[in-house]
Amino acid sequence: MKHLEELEDKSVYILREAYKNFDNLCMLWSIGKDSTVLLWLMRKAFFGHAPIPLVHIDTSYKIKEMIEYRDRLARDWDLTLVVGQNKEALEAGMAPERGRMECCTALKTRGLQQVLDEKRYNGVIVGVRSDEEGTRAKERYFSPRDKNNDWDFRDQPPELWDQFKTRFEPGTHVRIHPLLDWTEINIWEYIKKEDIPVIPLYFDRGEGLRYRSLGCAPCTTPIRSTAKTVDEIITELRSTKVAERSGRAQDADRGMEKLRKDGYM
């Protein structure tokens, strides 16, 4: 499992660089497997501690179990949890039926923006992976966002030899991506190796269905699968050629590129 060690070392290095160089840092935690592995890596990097607050953007459409799981880990692992929600949009009736892009923009992108504005975070750690979709493959480990939260992918700063962008103009922030080199299988291999408690929604519980990727309940569909254990998931993934996010609605028709340019994770 040497390659998992390599991945872990790099991510830990990035997390420690972030912690040292940003005075107001947060980590996004979607409760999904990737950001939970990221949270675990934070505990690796800081020897069992979680000194960086975790921001969870609650769209109110998350599956109920996700919230319970979130609160349990927060207690068990002594996490500082910051929950953000775009209440105005919800009160105004925002829902997936109004259009998926609109809904994602209002509840996730805007919801996140509100927390960032309020807490003035200047470093935001996000668990995106390069293999998820095309624009994420082009991310830097430390990726600057301007005052409007926009990503200028046409002109990204150089990044080499693990020297990262840790200086930035006031009013802007930096997205930090420690998981860019990990694939979906790597995530599960690591979950197995470290015995990380992931949310049971990822496993088939007798109905022949499991979630491969977790988002909001209305916009994420489970896949047909009988994988009941981490091992079975790894075996399943090794033989599948279906893209991970095929159960996610946002990715159709350049949706992701637009969302991400405007500050989506």
* Interacting residues toward another protein by CB under 8 A: 2-3, 5-10, 12-13, 16-17, 19-20, 43-49, 51, 130-131, 133-135, 137-138, 140, 153-154, 156-161, 163, 165, 167-169, 180-181, 183, 185-186, 189, 194, 237-239, 241-243, 246, 254, 257
Helix, strand, or coil here: 115? helix
Nearer residue to another protein within complex by CB, 147 or 254: 254
Nearer residue to another protein within complex by CB, 148 or 246: 246
Contact yes or no for 96/219 (Cβ under 8 A): yes
CB of 140 to another protein, least distance (A): 7
Nearer residue to another protein within complex by CB, 148 or 163: 163
Nearer residue to another protein within complex by CB, 98 or 193: 193
CB of 85 to another protein, least distance (A): 30
Shortest CA distance to 217 belongs to which of 131, 95, 56, 35?
Answer: 95
d(CA 163, CA 52): 21
C-alpha count within 13 angstroms, C-beta hemisphere, residue 197: 8
CB of 107 to another protein, least distance (A): 25
Shortest CA distance to 229 belongs to which of 202, 263, 261?
Answer: 202
CB of 175 to another protein, least distance (A): 15
Shortest CA distance to 30 belongs to which of 70, 68, 77, 90?
Answer: 70
Angle between helices 184-194 and 230-239 (to 10 degrees): 160
Nearer residue to another protein within complex by CB, 64 or 241: 241
Q: Which residue has the tokens 């989506």?
A: 264
**Residue 79 CB neighbours (<10 A):** 20
CB of 16 to another protein, least distance (A): 5
CB of 73 to another protein, least distance (A): 15
Shortest CA distance to 126 belongs to which of 52, 185, 59?
Answer: 52
Nearer residue to another protein within complex by CB, 180 or 216: 180
